[in-house]
Structure 1
Amino acid sequence: MQAAFWVTVGLLCLTTAGLGNAQKPQPCRSPPLFMGGLTVGTQNEKVWAVGRYAYDAVQQRIHLGEMGTYNNKSFTYNALMLFDEGVLYEINHKEQTCVKKPLQSDFHPMAVPKGATFISQVVLGTSSAPGQGLLVNNWWGDMPDKQGNYILTFSEFGCFPVSALAKTKEFGWMSVSYYDNVLGAEPHWFIPPPFCADAELVESEDGKVTDFFSVFH
């Protein structure tokens, strides 16, 4: 898996001359409401996961459901993040249980950061025939905490996320791939189930901050 990460990074860097003198793409923002599937993998092979997500930038909500392995142990995880309320629900539908935690993280819209550097524009698949390829733009930048870097890929038309590579302290390079994106999302994705109604806010016992990246741990 580690070799695959570096091959991917190398291929992205080799295509920097793809546009020649053409006008470079500008940072864009994804549609405010959509849903789709994703896969997550890490360079040190500690984490692998696949799941579904729903994204609402209007009311600042994200619902993520995934299953996979962490340190060779299987897991399932279902998280509803309500950023405007500062709350994260960890939901177990099978056991009908719900844990409510403070969400100490700002909502970041799905978008190319303004400080990102354009790398290249490429076609995934082929441009030899209509409908057989996807035109995408690749971007590079520093993580907000300056502790790592990222490479983001968004579609040229629609600005949908395609993939993300982020360098982290714990996992090395973390890879996220997005697929089957569709506009809109059913409201029930963002409503806590009835058995969450009596859930009380639980502070983290180890003192760690609950934020967006916690859902991948």
Structure 2
Amino acid sequence: MMKLLLLFVAPLLFLTVCCSAQRPHQCHSPPLLSGSLSVSARDGQDWAVAKYRYDAFGQRIRLWEFGEVDSKSFHLNMLFLFREGVVYSMNYKNETCQKNALHSSFHPSRIPRNATLLAQVILGGSSAPGEGLLVNTWTGDVPETQGKYVATVTEFGCIPVSTLYYTEQTGWVTTTYFNAVTGIPDPEQFIPPPFCNETETEEDTLDFFSAFF
């Protein structure tokens, strides 16, 4: 009986060791994601909390956010349409709409091929199943902005957990993601409301970061 048990357990232990020893690899997040996030910049002087919808197929992002910038609070409802090159800021209560040209390319949520692995760790506890979350932390440079980043994603699913992003202009910007769900439960949220139909495009051109703050 003991020999039979050893014959059964030994291959399982071998597979466990092999799987655990596999090096994490760069990955793509699911193309459709819903969830929430928080952003902090300028040592916490500027901050925002938002619900988001992320559609990599259609290159669209929807945000419902509130926060504080330069000691002034704000509440925004925004729709980024990268293929059309526009961003809408909408107020459903007053049925008003602002439309700006969007000077940003769509960047899918992923770990770039040239990213360097910093560590694989367990967030939370590891003494029992369900106590912790296995994540991988990566770092790299952003040549377009002369910036750098530190990004953490889950080992299984490549779901974003947090991102640190730095440029001389912005300083460190910290983003934390939570309550992520794969899929879009309300795809109609990517369609501008009727009261935006006649809105003229403003002269000011925004990028994703300036629009968010």
Name the TM-score class by shorter chain: 0.7 to 0.9
Q: Superposition pairs for residues 1-217 of structure 1, below 5 Å?
A: 22-185=21-184, 186-204=186-204, 209-217=205-213
Please give the alpha-carbon distance, in whole angstroms, between the structure 1 residues aligned to 2:96 and 2:143.
34
Q: Is the Cα contact below 8 Å between 1:149 and 1:167 reproduced in 2?
A: yes
SS in 1 for 2:105: coil
Deviation >4 Å, runs of 4+: none
Judging by fraction of residues, say which structure has more strand.
2
- Could you state the TM-score of these two structures normalised by the residue count of structure 2? 0.86
Would the alpha carbon gap of residues 115 and 78 (structure 1) be closer, same or farther in structure 2, given more than 3 Å must change?
same
Structure 1 portions without partners, runs of 5+: 1-20
Please give the alpha-carbon distance, in whole angstroms, between the structure 1 residues aligned to 2:112 and 2:211.
22
1:15 corresponds in structure 2 to: none
Deviation at 1:66, TM superposition (A): 0.8
Deviations 1:80-134 (A, max 9, x none): 0111111111111222111111112111101011221111000111121111111
Please give the alpha-carbon distance, in whole angstroms, between the structure 2 residues aligned to 1:215 and 1:78.
11
Deviation at 1:160, TM superposition (A): 0.5
Supply the AA of the counterpart residue of 2:94: E
Please give the alpha-carbon distance, in whole angstroms, between the structure 2 residues aligned to 1:93 and 1:142.
39
Deviations 1:4-43 (A, max 9, x none): xxxxxxxxxxxxxxxxx93321110011111100011124
- Could you state the TM-score of these two structures normalised by the residue count of structure 1? 0.84
Residue correspondences, number: 193
Q: Is the Cα contact below 8 Å between 1:44 and 1:171 reproduced in 2?
A: no
SS in 1 for 2:201: coil
Structure 2 portions without partners, runs of 5+: 1-19
Supply the AA of the counterpart residue of 1:196: C
The two structures, once aligned, show a CA RMSD in angstroms of 1.5
Identical aligned residues as a percent:
51
Question: Which structure's CA Rg is the greater one?
Answer: 2
2:8 corresponds in structure 1 to: none
SS in 1 for 2:24: coil
